[in-house]
Amino acid sequence: MRLALRIAVVLLLLPAAEFLVFLLIAWAIGLLPALGLMLLTSLAGAFVLHRVNHGQFRGFRAVLRHRGVIGTTTPPGGGLLVAFAGVLLILPGFITDLIGAGLLVPPLRRRCGAALGQAMRRAPQPNGPGAVIDLAPTEWKAIPERKLRRQRRR
């Protein structure tokens, strides 16, 4: 629950931080160059997304299904983290552009993918395979095997 709260706070504060950083950059280099730089990074993000094809997304679904490590099992220069970098570059703002550009650097992408893979392995899955659900004796009843077979045939 704390993680969800942290994510919500970051998502709420991100637009204010982006606006503040934009004002600082516009003050330093001028308004038109700052707007031009934002446009260029958005075009770069569109180019990155164009380069990531559907085959790599299908490979991602297979990797995620088998709980593989994102970013290390995919070919260099392709994959979900590269697509995420493209989306971050398209979003207006210099903070997201900086994070997106960082994800385009292979060593940083591998580290982020490994960290994300470890977090996915540690995350509890209450309804996942092998999950244990404790029920009180009054919350269940035993069904003989013969009745189960009859119900399956119907």
| pLDDT confidence band for 4 (50 / 70 / 90) | confident
Residue 9 placed within a domain: no
Residue 99 placed within a domain: yes
> Quick check: 44 and 91 in contact, CB under 8 A?
no
Residue 4 placed within a domain: no
Residue 6 placed within a domain: no
Residue 1 placed within a domain: no
Q: According to the model, what pLDDT value does residue 148 have?
A: 58
Residue 2 placed within a domain: no
Identify the residue with better confidence: 54 or 90: 90
Tens of pLDDT, residues 92-149: 999 999 999 999 999 998 888 888 777 767 655 566 555 667 777 787 777 777 765 6
Residue 95 placed within a domain: yes
**Number of folded domains in the chain?**
1
Residue 148 placed within a domain: yes
Q: According to the model, what pLDDT value does residue 75 have?
A: 46
pTM over 0.75: no
| pLDDT confidence band for 26 (50 / 70 / 90) | very high
How far apart CA 104 and CA 79 sit, in angstroms, is: 11
* Residues spanned by the domain of 59: 14-153
| Average pLDDT over all residues of the chain | 79
